[in-house]
Amino acid sequence: MKQKPPMNALETQLHYPLGDALPASGRCIEVAPGIKWIRMALPFALDHINLWLLRDRIDTDQGVCEGWSVVDCCISRPEAKAQWEEVFAHELEGLPILRVIATHMHPDHIGLADWLCQRWNADLWISAADYQVARHAVMGANGFGGERSAAFFAAHGMTDPGSVDQVRGRTSYFPNLVPSMPESYCRLMDGTLLDIGGRTWRCISGYGHAPEHIALYCEDLRILIGGDMMLPRISTNVSVYEQEPLANALRLFLDSIDKFKPLPEDTLTLPAHGKPFQGLHIRIQQLHDHHRERLDDLLLACTDKPLSAFDAVPVLFKRALDLHQMTFAMGESVAHLHALWFAKKLQRSLDSDGVYRFRAVA
């Protein structure tokens, strides 16, 4: 039996209404009337993703159709499809999937969107920015590897030839996990009101983690489907990559999570990773505190000597990292350095070796 990870000190400040209950493979747990929780395995250090079934009905040319909306999909791989087949057989109550909602374009959230949409003749609902970026990425034309990624990481200090060559050669990362995308979509925007099964869900946009992440809030149920913007155990990856090399991603993320502050304190948050929890306002403050502490550490380190993003990784991450983890860590390192740079606490220079380094402002 897999041993559950120990609870950290911050987690003890949150409340988990379902305790340690987790859905079995291919099965669901009902977390509220008409809302089912699916948990699917991922072959990464972050080893699972939470998906949600929402009881729904929509008007069609043939009349009102009863069924389900799916929120997020998992990556494309045989094991995930097999788990979905179990869900289709045992959890849909004989009803179809009517639409597929993706909180954002990362592979674990959208990998099987096209498969689900084709299987059930359903539409994909997603933000415009995330749809277009995902379509571009499926063609192998951006990010997550390739020549431009390698050059970006090298310019920020990751110059080891072996690592650079591996990043340069990783051109199929996204298409391997997201082999195709639906050819059309229904656009979600901040403030969009979705009628799902007779209940109103309001879209709340978020930035810094994905181009235009969409969380969903139902006032009647006091439930927030937070996607990756509000996780109970870990801090969301907030990175800068070569597609937007001058982004201030961390500032965007912190401003975005503040949009959840008006929601009630007893809101039940359904995260993409981890367990459903209450304590939303506490978690928002924890995330602000976490990043402020990392920024303070980084500013102090840049006062001692100029640092590249590669130099700054061990300041932010105290554990050993493999190359896959290092690419995320590099993106986060640049994001934290940029936050201080845009706040005019650091200055940036391109040194003679072609590497950007950041120095504390005197």
- Pick from 359, 231, 353, 349: which is nearest to 290 by CA? 231
Position 142 scores a pLDDT of 58
Sheet holding 223-227, edge to edge: 193-196, 199-206, 213-218, 223-227, 268-271
- The answer to whether residue 41 sits within a structural domain is yes
- When pLDDT is cut at 50, 70 and 90, the band that residue 7 belongs to is low
Please check the confidence at residue 53 and state whether its pLDDT lies above 80.
Answer: yes
Which neighbouring-strand residues pair with 35? 32, 54
- The answer to whether residue 97 sits within a structural domain is yes
Structure confidence by residue, pLDDT tens digits, 288-323: 999 999 999 999 999 999 999 999 999 999 888 888
- When pLDDT is cut at 50, 70 and 90, the band that residue 141 belongs to is low
Q: Hunting for tokens 């990784």 — which residue is that?
A: 313
Position 60 scores a pLDDT of 82
Rounded Cα gap, residues 113 and 72, in angstroms: 8
Q: Which CATH number do you get for residue 25?
A: 3.60.15.10
What global pTM score does this model have? Answer: 0.95
Position 171 scores a pLDDT of 83
Rounded Cα gap, residues 207 and 228, in angstroms: 11
280, 230 Cβ separation under 8 angstroms: yes
Q: Extract the tokens encoding 60.
A: 């069609």
Rounded Cα gap, residues 285 and 280, in angstroms: 9
- The answer to whether residue 317 sits within a structural domain is no
Say how far residue 11 (Cα) sits from the centre of its chain. Answer: 20
Position 145 scores a pLDDT of 81
- The answer to whether residue 140 sits within a structural domain is yes
Largest CA distance in the chain: 70
- The answer to whether residue 3 sits within a structural domain is no
**Which domain does 16 fall in, by range?**
11-294
Position 209 scores a pLDDT of 98
Residues near 32 by Cβ (< 8 Å), separated by ≥ 6? 221, 223, 268
Please check the confidence at residue 132 and state whether its pLDDT lies above 60.
Answer: yes
Q: How many domains does the chain have?
A: 1
DSSP state of 91: T
Q: Is 121 exposed, middle or buried (0-12, 13-18, 19+ CB in 10 A)?
A: exposed
Position 170 scores a pLDDT of 84
pLDDT over 90 percentage in the chain: 86
**What number of other Cβ atoms are within 10 A of residue 15's Cβ?**
12
Q: Is 156 exposed, middle or buried (0-12, 13-18, 19+ CB in 10 A)?
A: buried
Q: Average pLDDT, stretch 129-137? A: 96
Please check the confidence at residue 115 and state whether its pLDDT lies above 80.
Answer: yes
Provide the pairing of β-strand 356-360 with 346-350: antiparallel
Give how far Cα 22 sits from Cα of 11, 154, 171, 215, Å: 17, 42, 35, 22
Q: Average pLDDT, stretch 263-267? A: 97
Please check the confidence at residue 9 and state whether its pLDDT lies above 90.
Answer: no
Q: Extract the tokens encoding 12.
A: 């003890």
Rounded Cα gap, residues 215 and 34, in angstroms: 18
Rounded Cα gap, residues 49 and 28, in angstroms: 13
Structure confidence by residue, pLDDT tens digits, 79-101: 999 999 999 999 999 999 999 99
Structure confidence by residue, pLDDT tens digits, 186-240: 999 999 999 999 999 999 999 999 999 999 999 999 999 999 999 999 999 999 9
Type of residue numbered 211: P
Please check the confidence at residue 129 and state whether its pLDDT lies above 80.
Answer: yes
Question: Where would I find the H helices in the chain?
Answer: 78-90, 107-110, 113-120, 128-138, 147-155, 161-169, 173-177, 249-257, 280-304, 309-316, 323-342
Position 143 scores a pLDDT of 55
- Pick from 51, 60, 11: which is nearest to 28 by CA? 51
- When pLDDT is cut at 50, 70 and 90, the band that residue 2 belongs to is very low
Please check the confidence at residue 355 and state whether its pLDDT lies above 80.
Answer: yes
- The answer to whether residue 302 sits within a structural domain is no
Structure confidence by residue, pLDDT tens digits, 143-189: 568 899 999 999 999 999 998 898 998 888 899 999 999 999 999 99
**What number of other Cβ atoms are within 10 A of residue 252's Cβ?**
16
Residues near 310 by Cβ (< 8 Å), separated by ≥ 6? 153, 156, 157, 158, 159, 330, 333
| DSSP structure string for 327-357 | HHHHHHHHHHHHHHHHTTSEEEEE-TTS-EE
Say how far residue 99 (Cα) sits from the centre of its chain. Answer: 20
Position 4 scores a pLDDT of 56
- The answer to whether residue 319 sits within a structural domain is no
Give how far Cα 178 sits from Cα of 25, 175, 189, 251, Å: 22, 5, 23, 29
- The answer to whether residue 128 sits within a structural domain is yes
Average pLDDT, whole number, for the chain? 95
Please check the confidence at residue 1 and state whether its pLDDT lies above 90.
Answer: no
